[in-house]
Every structure is written in structure tokens, then in C-alpha cells.
Chains A and B, each alone.
Chain A
């Protein structure tokens, strides 16, 4: 039954993926300023959403492990953290490629981008930490605490606590300066 559900979900996912790829490449019109590159945002934004939902689940399962000491919760926490790391890496990579065209740079040590990179490194560190501890209950306890600690960075990235209005990745800045959500092609703040 479990295997059948997994196959059914995978089939449904494949159908939705093909439909969405068709819409992204064939139906959606090009963006006036950005050309084709804006299509990366159809992957970039959902990648961050998926990653943040996964790390939130990881924090919940880690908390449940600490409360109930059940290794099942630890296994669930590590599973969703792996998925989160995949999508965090995808989000940051696509953002960097998009930024190369739109901002004119691959990367800037901007507050939001830096806190996002710290987020990726924290969750990569979580997985590396697990490999270094042999004893299962000790590994589960330490990594649950680490996961909860790492989750502190998520609201910092999401709500732009650091850098706020001065971040290059801040649509409010573009709206204020250019009257649109995104700055045009070129470097920095050009409208």
C-alpha cells in the first residue's frame, strides 16, 4: 500500500511537472526587461519555499525527538533536512545565475544573500555532524539540538531581519526606486 501510494504520488508529480514545464516554456510570455532569464524564477522561488517548509519540518521533528526520544522522529528529521539541502543549493545557485544578468554580479556579500548562504552551510554542517557521531541516540540528540539552532537562521533569511531595506534582494528597494518589483537588466540599482 505504501509503495503504491509512493508510485501514485510520483506519477502525479511527473504529470504536474511536465504540464508546468510546458506552461513555463511554451505558454508564458517573455518578460519585457529580463528576456528568457526570468523563467529561472519559476524554479528559484519554489525551491526556497520547498527548502523552508522542509527545514521547518526538520525543526518540528527534532523538537519531537527531544521531547519523546523516539528515533523515528530523528530519521524523519534527517530525511527532510537532506531534501531541504538539495533545494537550498538549487535556490542559491539559480539566484546567483539570475543575479549575474539582472544585478550584473554572480554574488554580493549582501545581508540577505549572506544569511541564505549561512543557512545552506548550517544544514550541510548538520549532515556532516551526523556522520561524525556513531552512537545513534547521542547522534540523534546532538543533531536535534543543532537542527533547532540552525532553524534560527530561517526567519532571518525569510523576513530580512538583517540588512532589511538596504538589501540588494529587497523588492521594496526596487519598488521605491523604480516603481516595479525588480530592477531592470544591468548592474546594481538601475531601473
Chain B
């Protein structure tokens, strides 16, 4: 295999995967935040003093 320009190819693929992983991390964080908010709302609905 020709190793010319290996360094820049490495930079390129690192950048590409980094962009994807940062996006996935933001998705996971947002998903967790929504799940926590849903749990909080459910707990609020189950509180006896708020039930009609």
C-alpha cells in the first residue's frame, strides 16, 4: 500500500468520525433530557395532592 499522504488521510477520517460522534452525543444528551422531563411530568401527575 502506498503510504503517501497518510497523515492527511488520517486527519480527514478523524475529523469525519469526530463530527459524527459529536452529533450522536448531542442526540443522546437531548434524548436523556427529554426522558428526564417526561419522568418529572409523570411524577407530578402521580402526586396525590394534584389528583382531582
A-to-B contact residues, CB < 8 Å:
30, 34-37, 39-40, 43, 47, 82, 86, 89-90, 93-94, 97-98, 100-101
Contacts and interface: CB of A to CB of B under 8 A. Distances in A.
Interface residues of B, number: 16
A94 B9 contact: no
Nearest to B15: A93
A90 B13 contact: no
B16 A36 contact: no
Contact of A97 (B2, B11, B19, B20): B11
B9 A36 contact: yes
Contacts of A93: 12, 15-16, 19
A100 B8 CA distance: 9
Contacts of B16: 43, 47, 90, 93-94
A182 B19 CA distance: 27
B22 to A, nearest CB: 9
Interface string B19-37: 1100100000000000000
A97 B12 contact: yes
Residues of A contacting B: mostly = helix
Residues of B contacting A: mostly = helix
Contacts of A100: 8
B5 interface: yes
B43 interface: no
Contacts of A86: 19-20, 23
Contacts of B8: 37, 97-98, 100-101
A45 B24 CA distance: 21
B2 A94 contact: no
- Most A C-beta atoms less than 10 A away, residue of B5, B11, B16, B20: B5
A60 B19 CA distance: 26
A100 B9 CA distance: 11
A98 B12 contact: yes
Contacts of B19: 86, 89-90, 93
B2 A30 contact: yes
B41 to A, nearest CB: 18
